[in-house]
Structure 1
Amino acid sequence: MKQLFLPILTALLLLAASASAQREAARITGSLTDRVNREPLPNAAVALLSAQDSAVLFTTVADGKGAFSFRSTPPGRYVLSVTYLGYTPLARNIRVDDTTRLLALGTLALLRKGVNLQEVEIVEEKPPITIKEDTIEFNAGSFKVRENALVEDLLKKLPGIQVEKDGTIKANGETVKRVLVDGKPFFGDDPKMSTRNLPADVIDKIQLIDRKSDQAQFTGIPDGETEKALNLTIKPDRKKGVFGRASVGYGSDGRFSVQGNANRFRNTQQLAVVASGNNVNNTGFGGSGGRGVMMNNANSEGLMRNWIGGINYSDNLAKGLRLSSSYFLNDLRRENEKRVEGETRLSTDSSRFTNNLNGSLNGTTNHRLNMRMEYDIDSFHSLIVTPHVAWNTGNAYSENQNTTLLNKDTLNTGRSLTRSSSNTPNLSGSALFRKKFDKKGRTFSTNLTFGAGGSDVESINQSRTAYYEQNAVSEVDTIDQKVTQRNRSNNLGLRMSYTEPVLNDRYLELNYGYNYNFSSSDRRTFNRSKPGEGYDEPDDSLTNSFSNVYSNHQAGLSLMTQRLRYHYTLGMNVQFNSLNSENLTKHNEIRQSTVNVSPLAHFNYNFSAKKRLRAAYRGQTKQPTLEQLQPVPDNSNPLFIKEGNPDLRPSFSNNVNISYNAYNQESMRSFFAAMNGSFVLNQIVNATSLTNDGRQVTRPVNVNGSYNLSAFVVNGFSMNQGQDRRTAINTNTNLTYSREVSFLNGRQNFTNTLNLTQGANFNYSYKELFDIAAGGSVNYNRARFSVDKRNNTDYFNFGLSLDFNINLPLGFIIGADVDYTANTGRSEGYNLQYTLMNGFVSKSLFSKKQGQLRFQVYDLLNQNVSVNRTVSGNYIEDVESRVLRQYFMLSFSYFLNSFGGKASRVVGGAPPPPM
C-alpha cells in the first residue's frame, strides 16, 4: 500500500507543477482617477474575475497615486472590476494572450454616484474578503468547493480558519463557540449542527464576528464581553424552496449509517429537520459527498451506536418579535475497553504501580429544548427571554480488574462490578430587559437568571479485593452494596446595570448583582442482611444527607471611554460570598464568609480596520461542587476511594488576556498572536493518601501557588496562482507553561509542565481536477517535579496528515485521507506508531447529479489505536482504549435542491445549480 500511495502523491504534485508551467504569466497595470477632476483614487479595490463563471481570481488595492498591477496573470479572458466608496463600480472585459507579457490599461476614470453612466457597465462585484469594524466577511462564491460539499468543507478553504477532526472550528487560534444562520441560532449553540448539515452552495457570505454581549449590542457601549462567532447568510434565491440530503449505507461487520436533513428558508422563516443513526462512531453528522472522506471518527474511544433527531424553527412572528427554537434528541450507546498503567513515585527509590483492565457499556438518552425570544417593544425598550430544558437518562455497566504493586511486590488484586441508572432533569433560562433613555448613552438593564434541576442515581457496587503481605494473601475484602443518591439544586440570579454619559465619549456604569444557589444531596447505602436476598440493611457509615446554600452580592463601578481608534474600561468589583453547609445526618453546620475585591480592565486599540490590539483582566469566583463538599466516602471502586470536604472555600482566579490580530485583505493573509495568564487563589485540588495495603484515598483541599501561562501564534495566507488555482497555508505555534500543586501522604509537591506544539497545514486546489490538504505537527511535553526528580519526564507526539480528492470523467471521484501518529517517551508498550488510512470512490448519478453511489473503506491498514498520557502531581498514567477498526461500506446519497423561480447570476458568487 505504501508503494502505491507514494507514486499517486508524486503524480499529483507533478500534475500541479506541469499545469502551472503550461502557461506563461503576464503583468497587468493601470491607474484610477476621478473622471471630473482627474484626481487619483488611492486604496480603490481592484479585482480580476473569471469571464466564465465570475469567480474572483485575483484582488489588489490601488496605491496612494491610484496605480495598481497584477504581476502573474496566466492567459485567459477576465473581467476587471473596480470599486471605490462614493463612486459607481467599473467593469471591463480584458483578454490575456499566450504571447502577452505586459497589458497596460492606462488611466481608468470612475464616476461619482449620481452621474449619468451611459457607456459604463455596472456589475455587482463581490470581493473575496471584506473587513468591517468587528467582522471579517468572506464571499462564499470566491472559494471553490466540489459538488454537494458541506459548509464545513467550505470553511476549510478560508484563510485563518481551521476545522479539527471532531468538527471544532478555530478562527485565528480561537474556538468559535457559536454559528448563526442569517443571524439566528441554528439548533441551539452547537456549531456542528449547521456546518455539518447545510450545503456549501446555499451560502452567500460567511461572517467571522467578534460578537459583543447582548447588553453591548443594545447600548453600543463595549463592555469587553466578546466571543468568536460565525454568521452564515443564505443566498436570496435559496430562500424559495427546499434543500437537503439523505443517505443510507451498509458495510462489513454489520456497520451501518443513515442520515437525512431537510431545510426550508423563506424570507425570515427557517425550518430544518435532521435525523441520523449509525454504529461507526459518528456522534453527529458526517460528510457524505463533501471533501471529507469518512465521518470524523478517528481515534474515538470505544464502539458507539448513535441515534439523533431534531427540529429547528425560527421566524419573525410580528413586528419586532423574533423567535428561535429547537428540539434535539440523542440516544447514544458506547462499549469500551481500557488498559491503564499508572506510576506514583513515593520516594527516590520507591514507586507504586497500578494496572487496570476496564470494560464498560454505557447508554444515555438526552432531550434538549432551546428557545430564544427577542421582542423590541419600541426603539427604547427590548426584552430577551431564553428558556432551556434538558432531560437525561442513562444506564452504565462496568467491570474492573486491578493490581497494585509496590516496586515489584504485589499489594493487592481485585475485581469489581458496577451497575447504575440515572435520571437528570434540568430547567434553566434568563430574561433580559433593556431600556434606553432620550439622552444618548443613558441606559438601564436588568437580567434575571434561574435554574432548577437535580439527579436521581441508583447503583449496585460489588467487589472482591485480596490484600497481600510478603506476596501472600493476608485479607480478602468483599463489598456488595446498593447506593441511592438524590441531588437537587435551585438557583436564582439578578443583575442590574445603569450607564450614564460623562464628559466626552465617556460612560459611567454602576452594576449590582445577587446570586442564590441551594443544593442538597441525600446519599443512602444498603447492604444485604442475607446473601442472595435484597439490599435491606442500611450502612450508616456511608449514608449522609447534606444541604448547601451559597449566595453572593456583587457591586461594581467602571468608567468606559470610547474613541475613534480605541476604547477602554477601568473599574472595580467587590463580591461578598456566604456559604452555609449543613450536615443533616450528623446535625452540624459550617458557615463561611469571604470577600473578593478585583479590578476590571479592558483595552482595545484599532491601528486600522485591519490591525487590532486587545488586553483584558478579569477576576472570577468558582464554588466547590456538591460532590466535593459532601463528607461521605465514595467506595464504588474500593481501591480508589473519594471523600468530600465540607470545609472547602471558593476559589478565585485572576485572568489576563492580551491579543493582536492583523488581516491583509489584498494578500488574504492573517496573523494572530495571544498571551493568556491565570493565577488561582484557594484552588481546589485532590490531596491523595496511600495506605499500606494499596488503597488510594483522595480528598479535595484548597491550595495556593498554582498558575497557568500560555501563548500562541497563528499565521495564515492564501495565494491565487492563476485561474481556478488556489493555495492556502496555515501555521500555528502553541506554548503552555503551568504549575500545579498536589499532596501525597501530606507532602506538598509542585509540578511544572511545559507543552510546546508546532503545526502547519497546506491546501492546494487546481480547477475542478483535484485538491490536496496536507499537515503536520510536533508536540513536546516536559514535566518537572519538586519532590522527586526521578518523576521528571519528557515525551513527544508527532502527527502527519494528507487528504486528497481527484475528479475523474463520467462523474467518478476518488479520494483518501491518511493520518500518521507516533508517540515517544511513554511506558513500555505505549510508544506506538500507527497510520490511519481511509479511502473512497464515488459515482454521480442522474442527469442533474442529484444522486451519488459511494464505496469507502475505513482503516485500510487496520492499524487504528488510541493512546493517551496524563501527568498530574507525582502521578503518570498511560491509557490505551478500544477503537473502531477496519470496515468497508457501500452507500447511496440523494441531494434535494428544489427552488422556485430563476436564480439570478451574481458576479463574484458561485453560479446556481442546474434546475
Structure 2
Amino acid sequence: MKIYVLLFVLSLFGLRNALAQTEREITGTVVDSANITVPGINIKMLAGPDSAYITSDLNGKFKFATRAQSFKLIFSGMGYITTTREFKLQAGTGPVSLEKVTLPYLVNMLTTVHINAVKNPVTIKEDTVEYNAQSYKVREGSPVEDLLKKLPGVNVDKAGNVEAHGKPITKVRVNGKDYFRGDVQTATQNLPADVVENIQVIDDYGDQANRTGIKTGEPQKILNITIQKGKRKGAFGQVTTGAGSEGRYMVRLSANAFQEERQISVLGNINNTNSNGFNFGGGGNFGGGGRGGGFGGFAAPTGIVTNRSAGFNYRDQLGKKVTVYGSYSFANRDRDANSTSEQTELYKDSRILRNNQGINGSSNFDHRLDFNLEYDIDTLNYLKISPDFSYSGNDNINSTNFFNIISTIDTLTDKVIRADTIAGKQFTHNRSSAPSGGINVLYNHKFRKKGRTFSINTGFSFNRNENILDDQYAAARANGDSLLYQQVNSHTATQRTYANFSYIEPVGKATYLEAGYNFNRNNNENDRLNYRIDPETDRETYMDSLSTDYSFQFITHRIGLNFRGVNPKFNYTIGFAAQPTLLKGQFRGYQLSTTTFNWIPSARFTYTFKRNQTLSINYNGSNNQPGFAQLQPQPDLSNPQNKIYGNPNLKPEFTNSININYNQFDMKSGTSLFANVAVNQTSDKIVSNTTNNNLLDSAGNLVRIVRETRYINTNGFYTVNGNYSFSKPFAERKFTVTLHGNANYNNNVSFIQNERNISQNWILTQGVKFQTDIDSIIDSEISASYTINNTYYSLPSTIDADARTWVLGFNGRNYFFKRWILGYNFSQTINNGFSSTVRANPTLISSYVEYQFMKRNIASLKLQVFDLLNQNTGVTRTVSGNQIVDTRINRLGRYFLLTFSLRLQKFAGKGAGNGMFNQGSRGFGRPRRGG
C-alpha cells in the first residue's frame, strides 16, 4: 500500500512539472490616454478557476505566467476607470507580448436624475498636470494658444511665449512625440483646439530618466498635446491671406494629414506684421494677424519685421517596433528697429551717463533639420537615435549716436564737482554664419529580474561660428575728432562629447538603488584677428597685440549613487555624487589649468495628500563653465568704449538649486492653486570688476570714456523666486477670478574699481484677472497688474533705483446674429521711475469685426485695426553689476488689415463624421463659446 501511495505522489509531482513546462510568459504595458505609461496599477488575472494578482512596475510593465489559452485581466488604480480585457492566445509555448492597455480616467456621475459622464477639468499627478480640453470651451477654428489662455496656472504673453506654473514651456509634443522639434508657438498657434483631447504640463527630466524612473536634476516644463481618438484619422488645415494699410500683408498656410500613428504637417508663412514662423531658440511664433480671432503680431517683436518661413513635420510607425519622426524648418527675417537707451554706470568717485540713439537693420536665415528613431527591439531592449543639424546666417548693420556725460563725485558730500561730455557716432557691420549639429543615442536594457535595468545616453554635438565685424568709431571733441576704423575676424568652434551610464538594482519590493556615471567634455577653439584700417587710404594693418588664438577644454566626471522609494502616497529619491572638474587652456604655447572638486547631494520628494493635491521638493547641484570672453588671456580692445580683460585662472561656477512646487485642484468648486518657490545659490560666481579709465589729451580735455571690465570668482550670489496662481470660478463657471503674482530677489555681487558691491534687486508683481465666458454671447477678460523693480547698492556713492509699472487691460469677443464677431483689446501701461529719455506710457487699442459664412461657417472675412492710437512702444529696465539700463524701442504701429480665412477638415471613423466640412462632435458648424 505504501508503495502505491509513494508512486501516486511521485506521479503528481511529475504531472505538475510537466504542466509547469507548458506555462507561457505573458508581458504587457499599461498606459493612460496620452500614451504615457502608468505605474502601480493593480491587475487581477482570471483564467477559469485560477487567479493571480500583479502590479505594473515603474515603467507601466507587467508580467505573469499561465497555462491557459484564454484569460481575463482586470485593471484598477486610483484616478482610473476599472477596465476589463479578455485575451485568447494562439497555440504555442513561446512568450506573448500583449497590446498596450489604455486606461481611461475616472469619471464622476453628477446628480441622480440625469447621469452625465464628466471628466475632471484638471488632473494632478506626480510630475504632470493634465487639463481636459472639453472643460475649457473655445470658438471654432481657434488655435491651441486660445485654449491655453483659459487654463488655470498657464499664461500666454503677446509674443506667444507660454509659461506654466511659473516656469517657461520649452518644448511641445503631440501624442508624446516632438512636434517640429518641440517648437512651442509652432504647435500652439497652428494646431486647432477642436481636435485636442487634453493638454498636459509635464516636469520632464529627459528620456533616460523617463525610462529608468530615477529623476534627478532640474526638469524642463513641456507641453504634451493629445489628439482626440476620433480625430487621429483625417485631414485638417487652414489658409489665411490678408492685405492692409501701410503696405501690410500676410499669407499663412497650415495643413495636417493624420492617419493614426502617421502624421504629416506642412506650414508656410510670409508677412510683414511681425509674426514669426519658427523661433530657433527653443520656441516659435508661427501665426499672425487673423489667426483664431486674435491680435497676432501686435505688441510682440520689437522693430518692424518681415518674415518668410516654411516647415515640414513627419511621424510614422514602421511595424510594431519602430517609430520615426522629424522635421525640417526654414525661416528668413528682415528687421528694422530704432532704439533709445539711457545707461547709468556707477563708480566710487564718478558716474557715467550714456545716452544712445540707434538704428538697426538685420537680415538672417535659419535652416533646421532633426530626426528621431525609436526602436522597441523586444520587451527588454529599447533604442533611440536622434541626429540633428542646423545652419544660420546673419547680416547686421547698426548705427548709434551717443552722448556721454562723466560726472566726478566728491565722495564726502556726494556732489558733482566736474562734468565732462563727449559725443560721437559708431557704425558696425556684422556678418556671421553658424553651422551646428550632433547626434544623441539612448539605449535601455531591462533584465529578467523585475526592476533591474541598465541604460546609456551618449552623444556628440558641435557648433561653429564665423564672424566678420567692420567697426567705425568717431568721437567729436574741441580740438578735432577721434577716429578708429577696424575689422575683426573671429572664429569659434565648440565640440561636446558626453555619456551617462545608469544601473538600477531593486533592493526591496518598492525601493531601488541606482549607480551612475556621467562624463562631459567641451572643447572650445577661439581665434580673433584684428586689423586697423586707415580712414583715408583704407589700408589694413594686422594688430598682433589685439589678436588672440586661445583654446580651452572643460571636463567633468560625476560618479554617484541614488536611492529611490515608491509608495502610494509619496515617492522619494536621495543621492550623493562626487564631481571633479578640469578647466585647461592653451595660449601661444602656454598651458593653463584649474581643477575643482565638488560633493553634490541630490534629493527629490513628492507627496500626494489626496487626489489632485501634490507637493514636490527637488534639490540639484550643477557646474557652469566660463565663457571665452571671460577666459581669454589676450585683452579684447576692439570696442574703444569697453575694453575686456579675460582671466584664464577662473574656476567654474557651482550652483545649488532647491525647487518647491505645490499644486491643488478641487473638482467640486473648480478652485485651483499652483505655487512654486525656487532658491539658487552659486559658489565661485563669475562676476565683473569694472573700472573707468578715461582717455585725456595733453590739454586735459576728455577724448574718450573708457570702461574696463575684468572677471573674478566670488561668493555671496543667490536668488529667490516665488510665484502663485489662484483661480476661483463661480456661477456655473461663467465667471472666473484669478489672482497671480511673483516675487524675485537677486543678491547680485560685482566689483566697482576693486571694491565689492552688493546690489539687491527686488521685482514684485501682483495681478488680478476677471474672466467672463457666456456661451455664444461674450468671452472677455479684465486684468490689472502692478510691478515694482527696486535696486539697492551697498557702496555709499551709488544711486538706488526704483521703477514701477501699472498695466490695465480689457480684451474679449462678443457674438452677434450667429455669424458676426466683435473683438477688442485695450491696454494702458503707466511707467514711473524710468529715465526721462525713454519714458513712455502707451495706450494700445486694437479691434476687429469678423463675418463667418459658407456651410458650417468655415470661411470668414475679418477687418482689423492694430494700435489705433499709434502708441505702440516697448520700455524695459535691466540691472547688472554697476549698470542700470533703460531702453525704449519701436514696435509695429497703427495699420488696418483685411483677411480672408478658410478652414477645411475631414475625419474618418466612429463619431468623426464624413464629408469635407463635417467636424463631428466638436465641429465648426455653429457658434460656440468664445476663446
Question: Are the aligned partners of 2:273 and 2:288 in contact in 1 as well (CA < 8 Å)?
Answer: no
Q: Aligned pair in 2 of structure 1 residues 287, 481: CA closer, same or farther (>3 Å)?
A: closer
CA distance in 1, matches of 2:321, 2:583: 43
Question: Are the aligned partners of 2:124 and 2:664 in contact in 1 as well (CA < 8 Å)?
Answer: no
Task: State the shift of 1:914 in Å.
Answer: 4.6
CA distance in 2, matches of 1:288, 1:898: 25
User: Is residue 581 of structure 2 the alignment partner of residue 577 of structure 1?
Assistant: yes
Task: State the shift of 1:828 in Å.
Answer: 2.2
User: Is residue 344 of structure 2 the alignment partner of residue 346 of structure 1?
Assistant: no
* Correspondence list, 1:237-636, <5 A: 237-283=230-276, 284-286=285-287, 292-298=293-299, 300-347=301-348, 350-407=350-407, 409-466=419-476, 472-473=478-479, 476-528=481-533, 531-533=536-538, 535=540, 537-584=541-588, 587-636=589-638
CA distance in 2, matches of 1:505, 1:774: 49
Give the percent of matched residue pairs that are identical in Structure 1 and Structure 2.
33
Question: Are the aligned partners of 2:347 and 2:753 in contact in 1 as well (CA < 8 Å)?
Answer: no
Q: Aligned pair in 2 of structure 1 residues 849, 664: CA closer, same or farther (>3 Å)?
A: same
Task: State the shift of 1:785 in Å.
Answer: 0.7
CA distance in 1, matches of 2:785, 2:621: 34
CA distance in 2, matches of 1:730, 1:445: 44
Deviates more, 1:561-570 or 1:215-224: 215-224
Task: State the shift of 1:496 in Å.
Answer: 0.8
Give the letter for the 1:608 counterpart: K
Q: Aligned pair in 2 of structure 1 residues 221, 594: CA closer, same or farther (>3 Å)?
A: closer
Question: Are the aligned partners of 1:160 and 1:717 in contact in 2 as well (CA < 8 Å)?
Answer: no
Task: State the shift of 1:205 in Å.
Answer: 2.4
Aligned length: 794
For 1:701, the equivalent position in structure 2 comes to 712
CA distance in 1, matches of 2:181, 2:430: 30
Q: Aligned pair in 2 of structure 1 residues 342, 85: CA closer, same or farther (>3 Å)?
A: closer
Question: Are the aligned partners of 2:629 and 2:644 in contact in 1 as well (CA < 8 Å)?
Answer: no
CA distance in 1, matches of 2:217, 2:256: 36
CA distance in 1, matches of 2:572, 2:908: 50
For 2:802, the equivalent position in structure 1 comes to 794
CA distance in 2, matches of 1:86, 1:541: 72
Give the letter for the 1:769 counterpart: I
Q: Aligned pair in 2 of structure 1 residues 249, 311: CA closer, same or farther (>3 Å)?
A: same
For 1:822, the equivalent position in structure 2 comes to 830
Task: State the shift of 1:529 in Å.
Answer: 6.3
Question: Are the aligned partners of 1:816 and 1:838 in contact in 2 as well (CA < 8 Å)?
Answer: yes
The partner residue of 2:228 within 214, 235, 240 is 235
Task: State the shift of 1:678 in Å.
Answer: 1.0
Q: CA RMSD in A?
A: 2.7
Q: Secondary structure at the match of 2:855?
A: coil
CA distance in 2, matches of 1:452, 1:290: 37
For 1:877, the equivalent position in structure 2 comes to 885
CA distance in 1, matches of 2:182, 2:755: 44
TM-score (norm 2): 0.81
User: Is residue 848 of structure 2 the alignment partner of residue 844 of structure 1?
Assistant: no
Q: Secondary structure at the match of 1:218?
A: helix
Q: Aligned pair in 2 of structure 1 residues 412, 288: CA closer, same or farther (>3 Å)?
A: closer
CA distance in 2, matches of 1:609, 1:498: 32
CA distance in 2, matches of 1:847, 1:862: 38
Q: Aligned pair in 2 of structure 1 residues 213, 878: CA closer, same or farther (>3 Å)?
A: closer
CA distance in 1, matches of 2:287, 2:353: 41
Give the letter for the 2:375 counterpart: Y
Q: Aligned pair in 2 of structure 1 residues 715, 789: CA closer, same or farther (>3 Å)?
A: farther
Q: Secondary structure at the match of 1:631?
A: coil
For 1:46, the equivalent position in structure 2 comes to none
CA distance in 1, matches of 2:546, 2:624: 28
CA distance in 1, matches of 2:645, 2:886: 25
Q: Aligned pair in 2 of structure 1 residues 677, 510: CA closer, same or farther (>3 Å)?
A: same
Deviates more, 1:643-652 or 1:774-783: 643-652
Question: Are the aligned partners of 1:487 and 1:522 in contact in 2 as well (CA < 8 Å)?
Answer: yes
Give the letter for the 2:362 counterpart: N
Give the letter for the 1:364 counterpart: N
CA distance in 1, matches of 2:679, 2:751: 24
Q: Secondary structure at the match of 2:187?
A: helix
Task: State the shift of 1:820 in Å.
Answer: 1.0
Give the letter for the 1:609 counterpart: R
* Correspondence list, 1:78-227, <5 A: 126-131=119-124, 134-223=127-216, 226-227=219-220
Task: State the shift of 1:781 in Å.
Answer: 1.6
Q: Secondary structure at the match of 1:580?
A: strand
Task: State the shift of 1:318 in Å.
Answer: 2.2
CA distance in 2, matches of 1:346, 1:548: 33
Task: State the shift of 1:836 in Å.
Answer: 0.8
Q: Aligned pair in 2 of structure 1 residues 140, 534: CA closer, same or farther (>3 Å)?
A: same
CA distance in 2, matches of 1:136, 1:553: 35
Task: State the shift of 1:609 in Å.
Answer: 2.3
CA distance in 1, matches of 2:252, 2:223: 25
CA distance in 1, matches of 2:642, 2:772: 52
CA distance in 1, matches of 2:108, 2:356: 73
Q: Aligned pair in 2 of structure 1 residues 488, 771: CA closer, same or farther (>3 Å)?
A: same
Q: Aligned pair in 2 of structure 1 residues 221, 627: CA closer, same or farther (>3 Å)?
A: closer
Q: Aligned pair in 2 of structure 1 residues 709, 340: CA closer, same or farther (>3 Å)?
A: same
Give the letter for the 1:838 counterpart: S
Task: State the shift of 1:713 in Å.
Answer: 1.9
Give the letter for the 1:458 counterpart: I
CA distance in 1, matches of 2:116, 2:793: 66
CA distance in 1, matches of 2:497, 2:104: 53
Deviations 1:720-770 (A, max 9, x none): x25xx6223321121121211112222221111111110122221112011
